[in-house]
Amino acid sequence: LPVVAIVGQPNVGKSTLFNRIINQRLAIVEDKPGVTRDRNYAQAEWLGHKFDLIDTGGITWSGSNIEDEIRAQAEIAIEEADVIVILTSVTNHLTSLDERIAQMLYQTKKPVILAVNKADNPEQRMDIYDFYSLGFGEPIPVSSIHGTGIGDLLDRIVASLPQDLDQNENKQISFSVIGRPNVGKSSIVNQLVGEKRVIVNNEEGTTRDAVDTPFETADGTKFRIVDTAGIRKRGKVYEKTEKYSVMRAMGAIEHSDIVCLVLDADTGIREQDKHVAGYAHEAGRGIIIVVNKWDLPKKNSNSAKEFEQTIRTEFQYLDYAPILFVSAKTGQNLAKIPEMVKQVYRNQQQRIKSSVLNDLLLEASKLVPTPMIKGKRLRVYYMTQVATNPPTFVVFVNDPELMHFSYERFLTNQLRANFDFSGTPIKIIPRKRK
């Protein structure tokens, strides 16, 4: 869901507005403080548009003097929200703190809506014009206590929401099947999409643009296999050269949500497998490791485990990638490929709320002390997810130089232990709290 954040100096009525908006749909007059007081993240809906609302004022940080808190609020809003509401109060008139907040918000390209609270009567509604000088266009007078003006504010909010977020219904999950020649890529793709359903123009020697192949699983999930032309039988001569196949793979990786790296159980892992895997990892795509030709090796009950061990050793940086053992020849486990692609896709689209992340940070801080470099200790203030695909987290700290990779690794592991991020890389970006 799109995220709307409310920022503002203390006592302008952020929490009242927050409660007012989330209760709007129920039309209940909520005058019991404490009922929703510790809830600072909630789902709201207006005219059929759903969004997540953050009351940044409800999020308090350790050494919270007003300046720090306001900075934190603005940073969260700038990083995380799709739409930002700056709330002021007509009874305060325009203050220097309002101006400070406004200045921080000038940096963002996201829509900012200016609301003036406590405009309880017509006279007060006349006083809102001072606030024009903040530079966010026409101020919207509201009274969070009386509920007036809230509808106008919500109209403005939903009009500013990003358009395309609801259209995931028809989303095709794109994935590519990559690997060195002869591991069985085309055999796998042919099995998945059905030989006859897909006609790839494969005149000898013609280098055509990438051809993607759509297919659908029984549960109605739509997939698109990227660059099927590069995988299927055409161009084998070129594909034999490593440079060609790596280039082709890189192009495919670029255009897919998820990459299936195919290995050959018969020949084992080769140097070229690692090159291809390295590109997929660096591109930040979700990755599934598919061990093909599993019908060939002589096996005992430990074989899969042993092969997996070898993979983990050879591709240490892909420790998050699930492994499937399949045979394009017998069809064993092939149906698990789209299933897993779908799961990894979900994992990489996942968004974790800031409140949950900050609980996790708190727990993490009890487990391991933060690193200290040259007598200076890393301080971690808060964490917020700024992107999906791959899930990307900004961690605000006293000094990014102090974020040792082992601590970054520790945070990544904490995230993986608490949420299902299998198949997707996770990015952590330390940033200095301004």
Q: Which pair of structure tokens corresponds to residue 174?
A: 């794109």
Provide the phi-psi class of 268: left if phi over 0, else alpha when psi is between -120 and 50, else beta: left
150 is in an annotated binding site: no
185 is in an annotated binding site: yes
> Least distance to ligand GDP from the beta carbon of 230, Å?
10
CB nearer ligand GDP, residue 127 or residue 295 = 295
Distances (CA, A) of 410 to 126, 349, 364, 367, 385: 54, 22, 9, 10, 17
Closest by CA to 281, choosing from 313, 259, 308, 264, is 259
Provide the phi-psi class of 37: left if phi over 0, else alpha when psi is between -120 and 50, else beta: alpha
> Least distance to ligand GDP from the beta carbon of 344, Å?
21
CB nearer ligand GDP, residue 118 or residue 293 = 293
Q: Given the structure tokens 């499937």, which residue do they identify?
A: 324
56 is in an annotated binding site: yes
273 is in an annotated binding site: no
> Least distance to ligand GDP from the beta carbon of 259, Å?
14
Closest by CA to 75, choosing from 49, 47, 40, 100, is 100
**Does a cis peptide bond (omega within 30 degrees of 0) precede residue 181?**
no
CB nearer ligand GDP, residue 70 or residue 290 = 290
228 is in an annotated binding site: yes
CB nearer ligand GDP, residue 329 or residue 404 = 329
> Least distance to ligand GDP from the beta carbon of 179, Å?
6
> Least distance to ligand GDP from the beta carbon of 278, Å?
18
CA distance 20 to 28: 9
CB nearer ligand GDP, residue 327 or residue 385 = 327
CB nearer ligand GDP, residue 327 or residue 384 = 327
184 is in an annotated binding site: yes
Residue nearest to ligand GDP (CB): 184
Q: Exposed, middle or buried: residue 374 (CB in 10 Å: 0-12, 13-18, 19+)?
A: exposed
User: DSSP per residue over 367-379, as a string?
Assistant: HSPPPEETTEE--
> Least distance to ligand GDP from the beta carbon of 182, Å?
4
Given the rule CB under 6 A, which residues bind ligand GDP?
179, 181-187, 231, 292-293, 295-296, 327-329
Annotated binding-site residue numbers for GTP: 8-15, 55-59, 117-120, 179-186, 227-231, 292-295
